[in-house]
Amino acid sequence: ALASHQAHAQQTYPNRYITMVVPFAAGGPTDIVGRIVADHMSRTLGQQIVIENTAGAAGTTGAARVAKAAPDGHTILVGPMSTMSFSPALYPKLTFNPLTDFEPIGIAASAPIMLVSNTAVPATRLAEFAAYLKANPAKLTNGNAGVGSTSHLACLLLNNRIGASVTLVPYRGTGPALQDVVSGQVGYLCDQVTSLMSQVKANAVRPLAVLAPTRSPVLPDVPTATESGMSGIDMVVWNALFAPKGTPPEIIEKLNAALVKAITDPASREKFLQLGAEPPPENQRSPQALHQVHAADVTKWGEVIRSANVTIE
Using CB under 6 A as the criterion, which residues of the chain lie in contact with ligand MLT when the complex forms?
24-25, 28-31, 80, 82, 145, 149-151, 173-175, 191-192
Write down the least CB distance from residue 171 to ligand MLT, Å.
8
Q: Long-range CB contacts (< 8 A, 24+ apart) of 52-57? A: 52/19, 52/20, 52/21, 52/22, 53/22, 53/24, 53/25, 53/26, 53/173, 54/21, 54/22, 54/23, 55/23, 55/24, 55/25, 55/172, 55/173, 56/23, 56/146, 56/172, 57/91, 57/146, 57/147, 57/148
Closer by beta carbon to ligand MLT, 30 or else 42: 30
Write down the least CB distance from residue 186 to ligand MLT, Å.
14
Q: Find the residue with minimal CB distance to ligand MLT.
A: 28
Closer by beta carbon to ligand MLT, 9 or else 304: 304
Write down the least CB distance from residue 266 to ligand MLT, Å.
25
Closer by beta carbon to ligand MLT, 196 or else 225: 196
Write down the least CB distance from residue 246 to ligand MLT, Å.
27
Closer by beta carbon to ligand MLT, 150 or else 216: 150
Write down the least CB distance from residue 175 to ligand MLT, Å.
6
Write down the least CB distance from residue 168 to ligand MLT, Å.
12
Closer by beta carbon to ligand MLT, 62 or else 73: 62
Closer by beta carbon to ligand MLT, 28 or else 104: 28
